[in-house]
Amino acid sequence: MKALILDGSRKEDSISACIMDKIQDILKKRNCQIKALILRDQNISSCLGCFDCWKKTPGMCVIDDVGRSIAKENVQSDLVILLSPIVFGGYSPGLKKALERMIPNILPFYTKIGGEIHHSARYEKYPKMVGIGFLPSSDQESETIFKKLIERNSINFYSEKYSTRVVYPNDATEDVYKKVAEAIAEVID
Amino acid sequence: MSKHVILLIGSPKSYASTSNALGDYLIKKLEKQGFVSDKIYIYDAMKTDKDAVHILQSIDDADLLILTFPLYVDNIPSQVIALLELIFKHRSLQKEPKKQKILSLSNSGFPEASQSETAHAICRKFASETKIEWIGGLALGGGGAIGGTNLEDVGRIGGGVRKALELVANSICEDKPLPDEALKLMKRPLVSPLMYTWFGDAAWKKAAKENGVENRLYERPYQASEDS
């Protein structure tokens, strides 16, 4: 099984290294082939909103940078793990930028899913999605928004299964491990 | 003294965007009622740290922030999140940050305005964490029907949106909550979803044909390696 980890943490987010370690431990125990990207170390351009990836170079972003490779890695993975500080309920700008560059992986054409209009799938298979967010302290509203966001993304990116967990700095190491392990098990077992 | 409104345009398409068209119409209505306006195209403006300082100074001057953006991946665009983080940090350092209000105004390529709810929840959360008064969020579905055209020029299909924004401008000037009628008018599809998706699909095919790739629209460039 191939797993892609997209780490959208900022330099000051010391907790992210601990969570990343746990994610990798769990995936290694499951014999996963892991690709982990710390997005702040990557030079990723912002999506231009040009939609040339649909009408000029179908399926491929016109910007030739890491953002393009991430879209490729994503569609070739069985599992994608989105790790991010929860910023106003959503992702960090770094993670969001990478996700916006995945738009080539879907088609421009419309289809109906659960009574709503969405863009059609370009591929037959997409990775399952796990969202691991972290917050400095308990914040129910942020958690609710974050969970909803992962759910919505799983619809638009055709993830057959998704799960979400939120980690806090005062969580014991074994609790962090448990949260991450449960989130991964929920989508792949 | 005149009140100051700043329009923050969160589309990478900047001037040519539907976000600009919507925001521009609203601030013109506010200007008619005495507001002084300023405009920032976030993607053009946020290129260096110096730019960020300039943006924050302009935002400090405003009484009202209007944030317009396209829905990208169920959320506000990445550069907009970056700006919101900057505003949050900037205001956290101020002893007595200015009393301000914020309104968010989204448009999406999906016919259902409801698909933007998560993005507006994020804007609302930003407002509460930053101690800026939240006026509300207006969501437009099927923004492709406007396609960056000035609202005055989109004819009959833009009637509901224009009316909604006029009602919003009046409520802001009278310091009243956003009227339900404005929220309903904004949510109302510009054209029927069936027509929107049919014309949308046809427009993508036409654009691909113009680029000589009409037979490649369904390509899966990353599929080959997937099988290997």
Q: Which three-class secondary structure state does DSSP give residue A21? A: helix
Nearest CA in chain B to A55: B208
Number of domains in chain A: 1
| Chain B residues close to A153, C-beta within 8 Å | 73-74
Q: Which residue has the tokens 């806090």?
A: A168
Report whether A16 contacts A37 (CB < 8 A). no
- Tokens describing residue B10: 């969160």
What is d(CA B24, CA B29) in angstroms, rounded to the nearest whole number?
9
Alpha helix ranges (H) inside chain A: 15-29, 52-55, 66-75, 93-100, 140-156, 173-188
With an 8 Å Cβ cutoff, is B228 touching chain A? no
The confidence score (pLDDT) of residue B46 equals: 86
Cα A31 to Cα A19, A125, A176, A181, B177, distances in angstroms: 18, 21, 20, 14, 56
Mean pLDDT, chain B, as a whole number?
93
Domain B4-191 CATH assignment equals 3.40.50.360: yes
User: First vs last Cα of chain B: how many Å apart?
Assistant: 68
Give me the domain span that covers residue A162.
Answer: 2-188
The residue among A110, A97, A48, A77 whose CA lies nearest residue B222 is A77
The gap from C-alpha B155 to its chain's centroid, in whole angstroms, comes to 21
Beta strand residue intervals within B36-80, DSSP E: 36-41, 64-70
Interface of A with B in 74-103 (CB under 8 A): 75-76, 87-94, 96-97, 99-100, 102-103
B121/A47 Cβ within 8 A? no
DSSP label of A87: B
Ranges in chain B annotated CATH 3.40.50.360 = 4-191
Share of chain A above pLDDT 70, in %: 100
CB contact under 8 Å between B197 and A110, yes or no, is yes
* pLDDT (average), residues B192-203: 92
Q: Where are the strands (E) in chain B, listed by range?
A: 4-9, 36-41, 64-70, 101-107, 133-140
Q: Are B78 and A100 within 8 A, CB to CB?
A: yes
**C-alpha closest to that of B113 among B183, B28, B40:** B183
Does the model's pTM come out above 0.90? yes
What pLDDT digit, counting tens, does each position of B25-51 carry?
Answer: 999 999 999 999 999 999 999 877 677
Which candidate from A46, A75, A153 shows the least CB-CB separation from B222? A75
Kindly tell me the sign of the dihedral angle through the C-alpha atoms of B144, B146, B149, B155. positive
| Phi and psi, residue A77, nearest 5° | -100, 160
Residue with tokens 């953002």: A67
CATH of the domain at A108: 3.40.50.360
Q: Assess contact for A131 and A96: CB atoms under 8 A.
A: no
User: B130-170, pLDDT tens digit by residue?
Assistant: 999 999 999 999 888 888 899 999 988 899 999 999 999 99
Above 90 in pLDDT, residue B1?
Answer: no
For residues B74-98, give the mean pLDDT.
Answer: 96
ipTM of the complex: 0.96
